[in-house]
Amino acid sequence: MSQTNNAGISNTNQNNNRKGGNNKNYQNRNNQQQGGQQHQGGQQQGGQQQHQHRNKHQNQQGQQQGQQQNKQGRGKTPLNVESFPINLSQQQVQQLQAFQQQSQQNQSAQFQSNFLPPATALYTPVINYFINLYNNFKSQSHQDILVSYDSFFKSCETYYPHCALPTIENLIPILGDKFEESSFTDRFFVLLYKEIYYRYYYALVFQPNINTCVESWQNYYQIFHTLLSANSPNDVEIDLPNAWLWDLVDEFVYQYHTFAKFKLKKQDVDFLSENPEIWDTTNVIRYLYYIIKKSQIFSANTNRFESSSEDFCSHPVYKMLGYYSVISLVRVQCLLGDYTLALKTLELIDMGKKAMYTYVTACHITLYYYLGFAYLMSRKYNEATKALNTILVSVASKSKSQNFQSDHNEKKTDKMYALLTICQALYPNKIDENVSNNLKEKFGDKLLRLQKGDLTVYEELYTFAAPRCIGPVPPYISGFNVTALDPHRLQLSLFLEEVKQQSLLTTIRSYITLYSTISIQKLAGLLQIDPEDLRVKLTCYKHKLFNVLGKGETKWNNQLDIDFYIDQDMIHIDNRLYAKETDSFINSILKFEGSLTPSYNWM
């Protein structure tokens, strides 16, 4: 199996049929060159009888193998559907044979974890959806593109549940004379389809092989380079719906996140040390910054209508891509554990009800998920509760639309309920009634255990709800199978340490809310701790009460509903919540006192 090295990286987008397989021989440049020549020869001579006879036999084996995988896949391929065999290259035939051998030896579990067999047939519905997607892309109709975009993904899930999608080389001949290689729109469509190809690959494989990662990175490089190298927005003759643009940037960060979590083999480490640019943290952040800068969304001219032809912000693709890159940058910063910078970056975004992030549900959920998580890890529990409550109310009010991202959005919503449960345990606050009922239904029993200070439940909910943090150091530098300095475990330990420091704070709060004044001696007796230790706990509680408020982060205010101060041995409590409710009740009485009093001066 040939692999990608320095000589092969530049050709990865031409040799797009190289999916998965065994990556032991990627250092062999001679095999690489031979594999590339065989692949090109297989494409050029695909219509010849020699290859047809050989590939038909392999196609039958591939279809049989696909049926054997139904137990592990998402469903069976529909029967009685017209299909056409794909002429596989010799390289793909070898992949298919290796896959079948591994399956027969009952060793397929580890083998399938980083490999997908190539598609062996083209189904008529998939062909129709693909042609429809291409025609709508050329027409640049947002609604039609979005419908065909979702339909194509659903058809792929139906007909290719256990294998990779057909490559673009298999599908271009279907378009016939419609496809013009010299057209910018057609060439960009090829790049977008390859992005869909790798996205689907990543969706089915937990940890793709090193070849697939390299090829996907190179494809993203070409997409971004095409957009960033444009001299004028008029040079980019494409228009995409917001959902597709969001998926493009979101998948870019997801694949980076997946690659950063890899457990690398020795040969993978050696290969990446020779190609350090592959999914490097610096390069990923740099591309996001370049897109934001190119979009000019924060530096566009005020009189945009006077210079719209030279303003990239006037182009909908650049405008929305830059906006979504800001949100994706926040996500990367949270994954790296830089929550302060993430919250600073979010200040660039208008958080109003009609902001642009509301255009796409997945973007809306992702933004508030990482916003709530950043607030939680920054010990701003009040702000985290507000953010999570806001998005959960919004999600509940929206009609559930069925698309290929519905399951992902539901899982993210469950994670936000888990984060809100942690916030409610550390910082009890009033939330929406429907959200509260759903929270009690999902995590009611865990909330009670959290309020009792059960650290195992804190760890369980954090592991379930928090994103898996990564380190900025590339895997080939940090080494392979290194877990001692796992960034996710480090963030978890810091979070649990914070919880331990607040272990008695919830109990202290439950007692002091019952009193207006109480002696330290009496409260220490109720808590069954030493009075001097109680003073330390009260000082810690007072410290935890204060958090930064406002975007400018210049104000320090008490965010809890209760406050106190110590005068010698007496604790004086100010219950702010009850005071506010009492004041509101009295003001309402005074306001409506006149209207409640009957008047008899009718004459």
Say which residue the tokens 């190119």 belong to: 294
Is the model's pLDDT at 600 over the cut of 60?
Answer: no
Q: Are 260 and 114 members of one domain?
A: no
Q: Are 593 and 529 members of one domain?
A: yes
* Domain end among 206, 223, 238: 206
Report if residue 249 sits inside a domain: yes
Q: Are 90 and 7 members of one domain?
A: yes
Query: Residue 548 — φ and ψ, nearest 5°?
Result: -80, 135
Averaged pLDDT for residues 395-407 = 71
Q: Are 242 and 201 members of one domain?
A: no
Q: Are 130 and 251 members of one domain?
A: no
**pLDDT for res 401:** 61
Domain residue limits at 118? 1-206
Is the model's pLDDT at 568 over the cut of 70?
Answer: yes
Report if residue 430 sits inside a domain: no
Report if residue 454 sits inside a domain: no
Per-residue pLDDT of 590-599, as tens digits, reads 666 655 555 4
For residues 598 and 229, give the distance between their C-alpha atoms in angstroms, rounded to a whole number.
77
Q: Are 553 and 590 members of one domain?
A: yes
Q: Are 156 and 108 members of one domain?
A: yes
Q: Residue type for 512, please?
A: I
For residues 18 and 198, give the distance between their C-alpha atoms in angstroms, rounded to a whole number.
11
Quote the tokens at residue 3: 């692999």
* Domain end among 341, 359, 377: 359
Report if residue 574 sits inside a domain: yes
Q: Are 222 and 344 members of one domain?
A: yes
Q: Are 107 and 41 members of one domain?
A: yes
Of 599 and 178, more confident: 178
Q: Are 41 and 126 members of one domain?
A: yes
Is the model's pLDDT at 7 over the cut of 70?
Answer: no
Q: Are 22 and 163 members of one domain?
A: yes
Q: Strand, coil or helix: what is 556? A: strand
Averaged pLDDT for residues 55-74 = 40
Say which residue the tokens 């419908």 belong to: 147
Domain count within the chain: 3
**pLDDT for res 445:** 92
Averaged pLDDT for residues 115-132 = 90
Is the model's pLDDT at 391 over the cut of 90?
Answer: yes
Averaged pLDDT for residues 404-431 = 87
pLDDT confidence of 329, banded at 50, 70, 90? Answer: very high
Q: Are 220 and 198 members of one domain?
A: no
Mean pLDDT value across the chain? 77
Report if residue 347 sits inside a domain: yes
Closest CA to 464 of 409, 420, 427, 414: 414
Is the model's pLDDT at 37 over the cut of 50?
Answer: no
Averaged pLDDT for residues 314-341 = 93
Helices 184-204/242-260 angle, 10° precision: 50
CB 470 within 8 A of CB 257: yes
Report if residue 135 sits inside a domain: yes
pTM: 0.77
**pLDDT for res 33:** 38
Report if residue 372 sits inside a domain: no
**pLDDT for res 252:** 96
* Domain end among 359, 393, 412: 359
pLDDT confidence of 584, banded at 50, 70, 90? Answer: low
Task: Write the DSSP assignment of 475-497 as a string of letters.
Answer: HHHH-SS--TT-HHHHHHHHHHH
Q: Among residues of the chain, what percentage have pLDDT more than 70? A: 71
**How many CB atoms are closer than 10 A to CB 479?**
12
Report if residue 395 sits inside a domain: no
**pLDDT for res 452:** 80
